[in-house]
Structure 1
Amino acid sequence: MSEGKSKRVVEPFVMGFWRLLDWQLSEQQCVSFLKECIELGVTHTDHADIYGQYECEAAFGAALKLAPSIRDEIKIITKCGIRPALAKKGLAGKANHYDSSKAHIIASVQQSLQHFNTDRIDVLLIHRPDYLMRADEVAEAFQQLKQQGDVLHFGVSNFSPSQLSLLQSRCDFPLVTNQLECSPYEMAALENGTLDQCQELDISPMFWSPLAGGKLFSRDDEKALRLQAVLQEVGEEIGATSLDQVVYCWLSTLPSKPSIVLGTGNIDRVSAATNSQLLTMNPEQWYRIWQSSTGHSVP
């Protein structure tokens, strides 16, 4: 089957809702936050069936129900394939495990559609690589969901280049993204070939934990301290108003044209993130940040 190239489907910034319950927003407050994000041009939303112990999707859907017109202004990205050992949810077994079977993928999508009170998922991702994944079976599930109109686009999350290539070889339409961890603190994606593959296939990766889960600002280990100093220095040079903006600019400079998942419920920080698109960083500045992370110069 074809490995045809993909056009960009996901915007440069995506609003992540895995902490939605922690924000303790009322349904109306969630609607207001969504409207503010839309005004800033952040219309893609990132979810997963398991977030909030299976409660975040439904909470988001309840907010959408208050303002149904918003559904046509946003894109919903969600993930499936992880099955936690949660007895209260009726899951069999004693261990967290993966399930990429056709039956589970289709059932998960149907559940997500109900949670979101919607008739389609814009992008569905397989949440983690499954060592027992049968690529033909996943492709069959994707094809059925696409034909039914339940899902418009498909991708993966945390896949290696070979794992993505395997699944792509069984799909007759292009996968549109690979959601990966990437930040100045965690740079494995720069070395393991995943970003090279994204360029090759013209896929925009999605970066989760771009601020390293707060490590860039809250950790006092040697690497974090080096990064804080250089991010501050470069930020002053490029006119950034916060270290967050420097990080987003650094990530956006990558030629794979990544989408960055924002994990904040603070609209001011969302606004600052979008304003980082007005900044530019030259190669010397970019590599100074890289060097502060690695602790050594380029060869």
Structure 2
Amino acid sequence: MNVNINDRLIAGFWRTSLWGKSSKELNYFINQLIECGITTFDHAYVYRSEAAFGEAMAHSASLREQAKIITKCGIRGVGPGSLDAKNTSHYDSDKLTIIKSVDNSLKDLKTDYVDTLLLHRPDYLMNVQEVNEAFNELKRSGKVRDFGVSNFNVTQFNLLQSALDVKLCTNQIEFSPFNTEALDNGLFDQCYKNQVSPMIWSCLGGGKLFDESHPVTSRLTKVLNEIAEEIGAVSISQVVYAWVFKMPCQPRIITGSSKIENISPLVDSIHLTLSKEQWYQIWAAAVGHDVA
């Protein structure tokens, strides 16, 4: 596992419908991200982000060659679309559903392939042989280059991998000072052992980092500010990103902002180095106690 430094940050587009950007404004934002060195873009069928992204990309013919597109399938929310549920949102990893979802994504994204396809959530009724058949067909057709999962636990990941002819390239999971479960539930250990680079969502705790009324934030802020001064960081967000990047399994972080001024400083966090003691200072503030 050797993740290119330019691939450590991923731009998340799950809030696209709330940003209020025109297709030309979104095109400008995508170009700004690429200029910053961020060339991977995260989508999902349920985000309703793909059509807007496809329209934005169409303004610049060269963008598709520079961009790496991630999308996800497997959640059918209630709605009017052909892949939506009629009455009850549910997970669906059937072969035909996976293939149909990819075809829908390709149409909306205005491209003939996606770089990475993830199963968005574990389907309790998943037939792993059907998933294997779907992945093989998508691989043979050139519609998908790599495959992974999102929000799978260790046993779910292992079960699926045991049935696949392709190697899963990632598991997209939540991790932050507000949710440290991946340190102890085996997910990071599994990624390191299998040479899989996880993608991290909500690494700033979904905004909790800036909520001083939150009990974890009240412990973290002082420590993060002290370490920011020690390592030359310009914000506590940079320090948290550096804390996540310190993990040996070489995680990649998904951003969530629509403002380049919020994202561009985070690129520098890739080059910030925490000592082991500094890393554990943040961990202790996060969990509320020192090591035993």
Match of 1:241 among 234, 250, 267: 234
User: Do structure 1's residue 139 and structure 2's residue 139 form an aligned pair?
Assistant: no
Letter matched to residue 22 of structure 1: L
Residue 21 of structure 1: aligned partner: 17
Letter matched to residue 196 of structure 2: I
Match of 2:58 among 65, 89, 97: 65
TM-score for both structures, normalised by structure 1:
0.94
User: Do structure 1's residue 108 and structure 2's residue 101 form an aligned pair?
Assistant: yes
Letter matched to residue 199 of structure 2: M
- Report the 3-state secondary structure (helix = DSSP H, G, I; strand = E; otherwise coil) of the residue aligned with 2:62: helix
Equivalent pair of 1:102/1:141 in contact (CA under 8 Å): yes
Equivalent pair of 2:197/2:252 in contact (CA under 8 Å): yes
Q: 1:153, 1:166 → 2: CA distance?
A: 18
1:241: how far off? 0.3
Q: 1:271, 1:24 → 2: CA distance?
A: 21
Match of 2:143 among 143, 146, 150: 150
User: Do structure 1's residue 89 and structure 2's residue 81 form an aligned pair?
Assistant: yes
- Report the 3-state secondary structure (helix = DSSP H, G, I; strand = E; otherwise coil) of the residue aligned with 1:260: strand
1:284: how far off? 0.6
Q: 1:19, 1:276 → 2: CA distance?
A: 23
Identify which range, 217-226 or 16-25, moves more after superposition: 217-226
User: Do structure 1's residue 289 and structure 2's residue 285 form an aligned pair?
Assistant: no
Q: 1:44, 1:171 → 2: CA distance?
A: 25
Q: 2:162, 2:238 → 1: CA distance?
A: 37
Q: 2:87, 2:158 → 1: CA distance?
A: 32
User: Do structure 1's residue 41 and structure 2's residue 37 form an aligned pair?
Assistant: yes
Equivalent pair of 2:76/2:85 in contact (CA under 8 Å): no
Identity of matched residues, %? 47
Q: What residue ranges of structure 1 are gaps of 5+ in the alignment?
A: 1-5
1:185: how far off? 1.1
Q: 2:29, 2:166 → 1: CA distance?
A: 34
Pairwise mapping of residues 176-187 of structure 1 onto structure 2 (< 5 A)?
176-187=169-180
Task: Check 1:221–1:110 CA distance in 2 against 1; reply closer, same or farther (3 A cut).
Answer: same
Q: 1:288, 1:8 → 2: CA distance?
A: 26
TM-score for both structures, normalised by structure 2:
0.96
Q: 1:123, 1:108 → 2: CA distance?
A: 13
Greater relative contact order: 1 or 2 (C-alpha under 8 angstroms, separation 6 or more)? Answer: 1
Equivalent pair of 1:82/1:96 in contact (CA under 8 Å): yes
Identify which range, 71-80 or 29-38, moves more after superposition: 29-38
Equivalent pair of 1:18/1:263 in contact (CA under 8 Å): yes
1:2-38 CA deviation, whole Å, 9 max, x = no partner?
xxxx664892000000111222111111111111111
Q: 2:58, 2:77 → 1: CA distance?
A: 28
- Report the 3-state secondary structure (helix = DSSP H, G, I; strand = E; otherwise coil) of the residue aligned with 2:265: helix
Task: Check 1:68–1:217 CA distance in 2 against 1; reply closer, same or farther (3 A cut).
Answer: same
Identify which range, 105-114 or 221-230, moves more after superposition: 221-230
Q: 1:294, 1:58 → 2: CA distance?
A: 41
User: Do structure 1's residue 256 and structure 2's residue 249 form an aligned pair?
Assistant: yes
1:153-207 CA deviation, whole Å, 9 max, x = no partner?
0000000111111111111221100000011111111111011000001010000
Q: 1:227, 1:99 → 2: CA distance?
A: 39
Q: What residue ranges of structure 2 are gaps of 5+ in the alignment?
A: none
User: Do structure 1's residue 76 and structure 2's residue 69 form an aligned pair?
Assistant: yes
Letter matched to residue 89 of structure 1: G
Letter matched to residue 81 of structure 2: K
Residue 165 of structure 2: aligned partner: 172
1:219: how far off? 4.8
1:245: how far off? 0.2
1:127-174 CA deviation, whole Å, 9 max, x = no partner?
001111111111110000000000000000000111111111111221
